[in-house]
Amino acid sequence: MKPIKVGLLGIGTVGSGTFNVLKRNQEEIMRRAGRRIEIAMVADLNTERAKELTNGECEIVNDANLVVTHPDIDIVVELIGGYGIAKDLVMKAIANGKHVVTANKALLATHGTEIFRAAQDKGVMVAFEAAVAGGVPIIKALREGLTANRIEWIAGIINGTTNFILSEMREKGIDFDVVLKEAQRLGYAEADPTFDIEGIDAAHKATIMSAIAFGVPVQFDKAYVEGITKLQATDIRYAEQLGYRIKLLGIAKRTPNGIELRVHPTLIPAKRLIANVEGAMNAVLVQGDAVGATLYYGKGAGSEPTASAVIADLVDITRLATADPNHRVPHLAFQPDAMTDTPILPMSEVTTSYYLRMLVADQPGVLADITRILADSTISIDAMLQKEPAEGETSTDIIILTHQTQEKYIEAAISKMEGLATVKGKVTKIRLEQLS
């Protein structure tokens, strides 16, 4: 049987990893796929570098359009990134009857519905395991392994940069700005780390997972996104004292009123396995009604870990290339005509627990005023920590953990607290999830 011919768009970190792993493990991969998989063309603006990386073993071009329209190419692997030219090339590849493999979470989170519809109409596949959590096979688990389950919720540490920063803040007790500079020096953070530290990258991935878990369109524009830039080492330390750790979580949760889709710093009980995921590692916790909780852990980025996911997609497409399109696994796990329009809840209607920290005057009646405000808002207290003021100080921190309540109620209560003469400055609020 003739080999499957692959066209690679971009041979940077992931592209070179894909080329190397495919070459190194070619025989093993062929035994699994049933056919040889060959990278026949590579498009990259730096053609000299591309020739060095491929040792002249395939055709090198500087125009990606030559790849997506070439009659001999069966699968196009898009590793360019971004929303612009990448979308045009993916759509052109589909229009030309090519299957597509992509690691581009930003593209799929914003234009996935359009791309999957075009692929469905053309009878080709779009595979994207590498778009979420790098080498961790979470997409396959959600699409196939857990297909018997009604997924209740997903909570994931899905950005290695922010997890590295939070791990360093906790271990060394230093603030965000200092750790970010160290992360950039070590190569864990980009020169412009905005997409990572502001939670956008994690929100792209959470959006994709929510669509697969609940059978809804990808709706990145409706996700709530909050990064880690305002986190202080003080709060990480207090959380630790209360038995919690703070992680940037991507959360997708089914509720009676709609779907919660949110990314934000979150307190997690330290005894949970996912709370102990440190450094640049990723982990995704999935709660299904039949299987219970399952945890997926591994490297979320890097040349060969991400290449592992890209090649797994190439093998899947190779196995199914000649299958009836109606008998393939749907792109978003659910049959296209069975998708629902379940609403994504606004953040004000999300229900969770909260960590509150406030600097208050050290005088009688302060705590009574604060607890009265919470009681009037029907918010109950789960735990509280009141620090003794330092010698010579006239104010101190009060830390409160609440039971579950809606975001709009906690916001109203915080507004009243900040109006008290005895509360100094803003109240720090961090959401809390038990993940049980």
Residues known to be catalytic: 205
CA R_g for the chain: 24
Dihedral of the alpha carbons of 54, 59, 62, 64, in degrees to the nearest 10:
-110
**Other beta carbons within 10 Å of 369:** 15
Cα 345 from chain centroid (whole Å): 19
Give 274-300 as a DSSP string: GGG--TTEEEEEEEETTTEEEEEEEE-
Distance (Å, whole) CA 166 – CA 274 = 14
DSSP three-state, residue 262: strand
Would the CA dihedral through 296, 302, 303, 306 be positive or negative? positive
CA dist., res. 63 & res. 96, Å (int): 16
On the CB side of 344, CA atoms within 13 Å amount to 19
Q: CB within 8 A of 45, min separation 6: which ones?
A: 62
Three-state secondary-structure class, residue 91: helix
Best CA proximity match to 254, nearest among 405, 408, 150, 140: 150
Closest CA to 38 of 90, 78, 74, 62: 74
Whose tokens are 């509720």? That residue is 255
- Cβ within 8 Å of residue 90, ≥6 positions away: 76, 78, 100, 102, 104, 107, 115, 126
Q: Which amino acid appears at position 344 of this protein?
A: I
Alpha-carbon distance of 349 to 262, in angstroms, equals 12
- Dist. CA 283–CA 279, nearest whole Å: 11
